[in-house]
Amino acid sequence: MKQKWLVLCCAILWFSALVSGWCVVERYERTPGAQSRAPEWLTGRMLPAGTLAATPKGVPVLLVALHPQCTCSLATMHELLRIVQQSHAPASIVLLMYTPEHLPEGWTRGERLRSASESLHPRIIDDTNGRWARGLGARTSGEVLLYSPAGRLLFQGGITSERGHEGASAGGELLERAMQSQERTARTPPTFGCALFAGKSGA
Amino acid sequence: MTIAVLDLEKARLPTADPVSVASQVDVAADVWFASNARRTDRQFAVLMVFQWLASIALTYWFTPRTWAGAASSPSPHLAFAIFLGGIISFAPILMAWKLPGRRLTRHVIAVGQMSMSTLMIHLSGGRIEMHFHIFGSLAFLALYLDWTVLITASLVVLLDHGLGTFLWPDAVFGAGNSEPWRWLEHACWIVFCDIFLIYSCIARVRSIRVIATQQVDQAILLRQAYTDALTALPNRLRFQKDLELSLHQAKPAGCSGFALLYVDLDRFKEVNDAYGHTIGDHVLVAVAERLSQEAEGNAGFARIGGDEFVSICPRTSSGLEPIAERAGEILRRLLMPIEVDGLAIQIGASIGISLYPEDGASEDELLSRADQAMYTMKRKGRRGFVFSGGIMESRAEDRTEGEERLRRAIQSRDFIIHYQPLLSRNGTIDGLEALARWPAPGGGFVCSPGEFIALAEETGLIVDLGKLVLDQVCEQVAAWHTRGIDFREVAINLSPRQLEQGDFPAILDETLKRFGVHPEWITFEITESAYVPDDRVLEAGLEALRTRGIKVSIDDFGTGYSSLGRLQTLTFNTLKIDQIFISGLGQSEAALGMVRAIINLAHLLGMSVVGEGVENSRQARILRELGCDHLQGHYFSRALPVEAIQEFILQHSAQAERRSAGSNQKGWRPAELEQIERRAVATGVADMIVAFKAGQRDLGAWPVSRL
């Protein structure tokens, strides 16, 4: 009888530890990164010279700020690929790949992200110290900005439902709608990913 | 699929009744399920260890570090994989190790496994492929064949998704598809999977029960083939296989061989005849239980015939002593009375022992030699054991020592005679039976009469012993006659061996003459079942006695093998019904019928009848009602030494006088006096009797409590 109670108490303790652990995981997974307000209009100065000029006319510009080491952003790229394919709306995709001025040891150029985005045929810009991303108000890896062909901001935010989580999300659906309708979305969905700038963590 | 096979040695299935079969099926199935649960617990424990390590590796592969610009730190996912994965896995692994097979253990494992699946989905970034882990886990959990485990597992998943849907609907199903029906669709797939798995579990459980039933049936058939249905001991077929195996194992050189003990119950046929086969069967079951108890630690017994049991006893370097000791122990156990339906039935056994390799090298030879030895023991007086012809040395030593002691005791006239009264139907003494006793120097007796008489019969000393008894009885009879003690007649047991002696009539004449004993004072009793090689010898001996005017009784009638035949050819004056029939009176219609028939038969043949072994008033009353002429037994008096029997005779003489007077000083009625005196004898209030005899006839002076 005593052993039975002991086992039951241990089981309850274990279950409590389990639930507590889950709460910590969920909290981490669902805590969005920092966000700033993006400029309402996209101008040539906000991107490296010639970037905008190189984009096809009459096509929206889709900017994605990425940290090459952020594995969570891989989900963003997969989602983006899915959305672009589903929406059938043309867009000129520009990836702002964060690059520190002094490369730390073990730094990679984000080959996984690059290969994941190959089928999108994006223009990849090495964003030294996140200069261009900062100017566009992007603070978290995976933040997506969609500007109309006229340069007006249509969408800003993340397209994954939580950190590194693939699958349907509110952000993804809003982006898809914005690409199809060319209309400004009312909401700014949260972005889940690594911080682009030290000291101000994305998550 | 393997089902635990029933242990035929331990399983007790004396009958294949449906209830027993059903319970055995349950047992077999439960054993299998418990074994399956323990095995699956172990598999899950191993799986969870590897799963935990895999989740750490997976996390390290996907998200080793988290970044903030150029600075990085270890990913919290790693900590989740290590610590939360550890917490999840710890309890199931611990319980699978410490409490395998328990219901709680598998439910904890189910919770842990599904939690691990959910964690791995999180750690992999919600990859859709990782969701197959959940279905894989459910399938794995189905190995328990316990549908409640699947329900627990599903509840964990549904709880996780349900809470997720409630708290973060966008995260789980996306913003546009977060309607309730989507959650329902999700749940339906889990339920569908569950239904499929639960159905599979139930189907498999059914098939296991079918197989278990077949195995139980097979076990019952095997058991019935190799087991005696009545006693649940191995039967002849099984014994033959065991014997064959023992022979095979004993063949190699250097093996010390084995002994075959052949036990045959003494007078079991009479038990069956007297009490019926139901009681006989109970006796056999009781005997089997005793033999099984004795066999603990030894080779077990098999029942190979009606009342025949055999056992294979390994031989050791200690010689034959251990075998002889075991045979002695078996005899001791079988001599103890067997209680059946309120009856105390005493039954002995004769044991024949054959030895491998001395007595033969085949099953048939060994069995035959043991059987012969057993019959030799029967002829020599029963209730003993004897080794087969070839190897008698060990036993012979014992016998020689015993024989020497017996011889010395006879020479030094160490034996005393006890007398047991025979009463008439009216309660008067009709005679005494003389019974030899071998007193030990320090009190008590050297051994029981059955033992020393059997030894005397075997060694031929019964002739000398019989002569000594005749001497002592005649001397005592003459003394009583001189003192005027009315003993009527004294019955002496006569061995057929004495009759075989050509000089017995001369010795008898000389003894009677020497003590001045009239032949009418003496009666000889010959046991009906005694071994007599030739009835003509017996007839001649009886004729010699009759011509001298000595009466002859046939003792233990009904326990031999040719009772009626002997009654036809031999002439006896009295027939003594064996106590085995008397003890059944009042309890068995069969015994009553047998006794009535024997009494009528004896009377028709002109013999008087003695009922032996009367133990209670009920038996005495029935015997009187049936017309039995004389009664003998412990109810009236046990065999008493000379002084005590004299007191008994005097007491009964006085009683007879009072009875004839019809009254007494205090006005006691004869029946009351008889009751008081019987109580006095039974309770050992000898002084009361002495005082009563000495003239203190007012029994009112004695405390009533003593009566």
Nearest residue to B629 via CA among B426, B488, B493: B426
Taking only the tens place, the pLDDT of each residue in A4-56 is 888 788 888 988 998 898 889 888 888 899 989 999 999 989 999 888 888 88
Instruction: Find all residues with CB under 8 Å of B23, minimum gap 6, and list them.
Output: none
**Least Cα separation, residue B150 to chain A (angstroms):** 18
Tokens 């139930």 sit on residue: B202
DSSP code string of B406-425 = HHHHHHTT--EEEEEEEEET
pLDDT score of B31 more than 60: yes
* Interface contact A164-B173, CB threshold 8 A: no
Question: Which stretches of B489-560 are assigned E, i.e. beta strand?
Answer: 490-493, 522-527, 551-557
Instruction: Find all residues with CB under 8 Å of B514, minimum gap 6, and list them.
Output: B474
- Residue numbers in A near B91 (CB within 8 A): 10-11, 14
Partner residue opposite A30 with nearest CB, options B95, B128, B168: B168
* Interface contact B66-A168, CB threshold 8 A: no
Q: For residues B617-639, give the mean pLDDT.
A: 90
**Least Cα separation, residue A58 to chain B (angstroms):** 29
For residue B563, what pLDDT band results from cuts at 50, 70 and 90?
low
pLDDT score of B702 more than 70: no
What value does the mean pLDDT of chain A take? Answer: 88
A 10 A CB-CB count for A114 gives: 17
* Interface contact A161-B67, CB threshold 8 A: no
**Least Cα separation, residue A72 to chain B (angstroms):** 7
3-state secondary structure of A22: helix
Instruction: Find all residues with CB under 8 Å of B336, minimum gap 6, and list them.
Output: B290, B346
Q: Which residue from B minimizes the CA distance to A103?
A: B70
Query: What's the pLDDT score for residue B404?
Result: 77
Instruction: Find all residues with CB under 8 Å of A27, minimum gap 6, and list them.
Output: none
Taking only the tens place, the pLDDT of each residue in B392-441 is 433 434 555 677 788 888 888 889 999 999 998 888 888 999 999 988 77
Q: Which residue from A minimizes the CA distance to B77?
A: A25
Query: What's the pLDDT score for residue B395?
Result: 43
Query: What's the pLDDT score for residue B24?
Result: 77
* Interface contact B171-A172, CB threshold 8 A: no
Q: Indicate whether this model's pTM tops 0.90.
A: no
Partner residue opposite A69 with nearest CB, options B65, B90, B127: B65
pLDDT score of B535 more than 80: no
B315-329, B335-349, B443-457, B525-539: least confidently modelled range: B525-539
Q: For residues B680-690, give the mean pLDDT.
A: 49
For residue B181, what pLDDT band results from cuts at 50, 70 and 90?
low
pLDDT score of B674 more than 60: no
**Least Cα separation, residue A194 to chain B (angstroms):** 5
Query: What's the pLDDT score for residue B266?
Result: 85
Partner residue opposite B170 with nearest CB, options A15, A72, A169: A169
Query: What's the pLDDT score for residue B669?
Result: 52
* Interface contact A25-B87, CB threshold 8 A: no
Q: What is the ipTM of this complex?
A: 0.87
Mutate which of B170, B173, B182 to test chain A, going by most A C-beta atoms within 10 A? B170
For residue B511, what pLDDT band results from cuts at 50, 70 and 90?
very high
Query: What's the pLDDT score for residue B678?
Result: 57
> How far apart are alpha carbons B138 and B113 in whole angstroms?
9
Q: Which residue from B minimizes the CA distance to A24?
A: B80
Instruction: Find all residues with CB under 8 Å of B186, minimum gap 6, and list them.
Output: B161, B173
> How far apart are alpha carbons B566 and B560 in whole angstroms?
10
- How far from B499 is each of B417, B437, B532, B551, B652, CA to CA, in Å? 21, 22, 10, 15, 35
Query: What's the pLDDT score for residue B470?
Result: 92
* Interface contact A165-B171, CB threshold 8 A: yes
Q: What is the number of residues in chain A? A: 203
Regions in chain A scoring below 70 on pLDDT? 1, 106, 199-203
Taking only the tens place, the pLDDT of each residue in B437-493 is 988 777 777 777 877 887 787 777 888 899 999 999 999 999 998 888 888 899 999
Query: What's the pLDDT score for residue B173?
Result: 59
- Give the A:B interface size as CB pairs under 8 Å: 127
Query: What's the pLDDT score for residue B79?
Result: 92
What value does the mean pLDDT of chain B take? Answer: 80
Query: What's the pLDDT score for residue B56?
Result: 93
